[in-house]
Amino acid sequence: MEQLFYALLTVVIGVFGCVAYYFFSNLALDAVFPAKGEEAGRNINRANAIRPWLFLFPALALLGLYLLYPVYQSVVLSFHDARGENFVGLDNWIWLFNDEKFGESMLNNALWLIFVPAMSTFFGLIAAALTDRIKWGNFAKSLIFMPMAISFIGASVIWKFVYDYRGADQEQIGLLNALVVALGGDPAAWITVPFWNNFFLMIILVWIQTGFAMVILSAALRGIPEETIEAAILDGASPLQIFWKIKVPQIWGTIAVVWTTITILVLKVFDIVLAMTNGQWSSQVLANLMFDWMFRGADFGRASVVALVIMLLVTPIMVWNIRNARQEMR
């Protein structure tokens, strides 16, 4: 029980401390530059110039410390040896481009980048559109969303029960092989089949991420002004036409957001690969390759190089996204 009080206390202090910062810093700003009196106009301008930074300061400070600083570290480390002590120039980069596992990871990552965001967004969109039309839609949504609530360690156990393989003469305990056997086929060790095992791993991530896409897209679909749809109905458009021609174009921005978010997640994903295959049977991906060199090889130079490649890969998507966002703003 005492732990509960202590926990509650820390929670309250943590959260209130944060609220207090915004409240009091704004109060202070208003007190220093009061919006009344003879200098009201100038004060308002001054306050307005400072206020954005008050709002942004905690975010920028944390981002700088927790993300920018490590990036800077990675860049520095990528030109150093395993311990980060001696400068080795481009050695790590040269090693990387000659490493066969790296080539394999790039290829697999390309597959992941196309398949997972596309499928998750597609299924998420379908699920959002369909569940919005039926009475038990919220219940259905919760069930589809459920995989999001499962930790990776849980998800890998769940899918082990699907992909598990026993010899042809034994009883199958994996669902997929049981189905295959029931249909008269030969069981296979699915996650060890090079190339195709990528897809079996990707399905797991699609299964998890569809719920995310669905929730966000469903919110967007409900936000579409009713007038446009009513007009289309009056014009005699079929539900399918309404969906693809009227609704989808209107939520294009949100689809892009969902797509981007999942893309980023795909590049960072390593838990699934680590738990299911650890990159064996030609299923290595960049994030897991980095994890390998970081913690198993204890070579910070090489790990940093792989991390930087991940960041570089995403840059085009980011640029496109930023451009999009800025166009929308105008």
Site for other proteins in 49-78 (CB under 8 A): 49, 51-53, 55-56, 58-60, 62-63, 65-71, 73-74
Structure tokens at 262: 């999942």
Minimum distance between the CB of residue 111 and other proteins, rounded to whole angstroms? Answer: 18
Q: If binding is defined by CB under 8 A, does position 106 make contact with other proteins?
A: no
Q: If binding is defined by CB under 8 A, does position 233 make contact with other proteins?
A: yes
- Tell which one of 34, 143, 241, 245 touches other proteins (CB under 8 A): 143
- Tell which one of 90, 110, 173, 231 touches other proteins (CB under 8 A): 173
Minimum distance between the CB of residue 114 and other proteins, rounded to whole angstroms? Answer: 17
Q: Which of 260, 300, 266, 307 is nearest to 102 (CA)?
A: 307
- Tell which one of 111, 137, 196, 259 touches other proteins (CB under 8 A): 137
* Candidate segments 102-110, 112-120, 145-153, binder of other proteins by CB under 8 A: 145-153
Task: Give whichever of 75 and 111 is closer to other proteins, judged by the CB atom.
Answer: 75
Q: If binding is defined by CB under 8 A, does position 145 make contact with other proteins?
A: yes
Q: If binding is defined by CB under 8 A, does position 20 make contact with other proteins?
A: no
Q: If binding is defined by CB under 8 A, does position 321 make contact with other proteins?
A: yes
Residues 6+ away with beta carbon under 8 Å from 242: 229, 232, 233
Task: Give whichever of 62 and 114 is closer to other proteins, judged by the CB atom.
Answer: 62
Residue 38 sits at φ, ψ, to 5 deg, of -70, -30
Q: If binding is defined by CB under 8 A, does position 117 make contact with other proteins?
A: no
Distances (CA, A) of 78 to 98, 193, 305, 309, 312: 16, 34, 5, 11, 14
Minimum distance between the CB of residue 16 and other proteins, rounded to whole angstroms? Answer: 8
Residues 241-280 that bind other proteins (CB under 8 A): 253-254, 257, 261, 264, 267-268, 270, 274-275, 277-280
Q: Which of 288, 290, 283 is nearest to 304 (CA)?
A: 290
Question: Helix, strand, coil: what percent of the chain each, to 5?
Answer: 80, 0, 20
- Tell which one of 116, 119, 191, 255 touches other proteins (CB under 8 A): 191
Residue 80 sits at φ, ψ, to 5 deg, of -120, 170
Task: Give whichever of 106 and 264 is closer to other proteins, judged by the CB atom.
Answer: 264
Q: If binding is defined by CB under 8 A, does position 219 make contact with other proteins?
A: yes
- Tell which one of 201, 272, 285, 287 touches other proteins (CB under 8 A): 287
Minimum distance between the CB of residue 70 and other proteins, rounded to whole angstroms? Answer: 4
Contact 309, 286 (CB under 8 A): yes
Q: Taking the CB of residue 304, how many other CB atoms lie within 10 A of it?
A: 25
- Tell which one of 116, 209, 210, 213 touches other proteins (CB under 8 A): 210
* C-alpha span between 184 and 207 (Å, rounded): 27
Residue 63 sits at φ, ψ, to 5 deg, of -60, -45
Minimum distance between the CB of residue 259 and other proteins, rounded to whole angstroms? Answer: 13
Q: If binding is defined by CB under 8 A, does position 301 make contact with other proteins?
A: no
Q: If binding is defined by CB under 8 A, does position 128 make contact with other proteins?
A: no
Could you tell me how many residues of this chain bind other proteins (CB under 8 A)?
149
Structure tokens at 13: 């202090």
Contact 166, 173 (CB under 8 A): yes
Cβ burial of 309 (10 Å; 0-12, 13-18, 19+) is: buried
CA dihedral 19, 20, 25, 26 (to 10 degrees): 60
- Tell which one of 113, 150, 180, 248 touches other proteins (CB under 8 A): 150
Residue for token pair 């693809």: 244
Minimum distance between the CB of residue 17 and other proteins, rounded to whole angstroms? Answer: 9
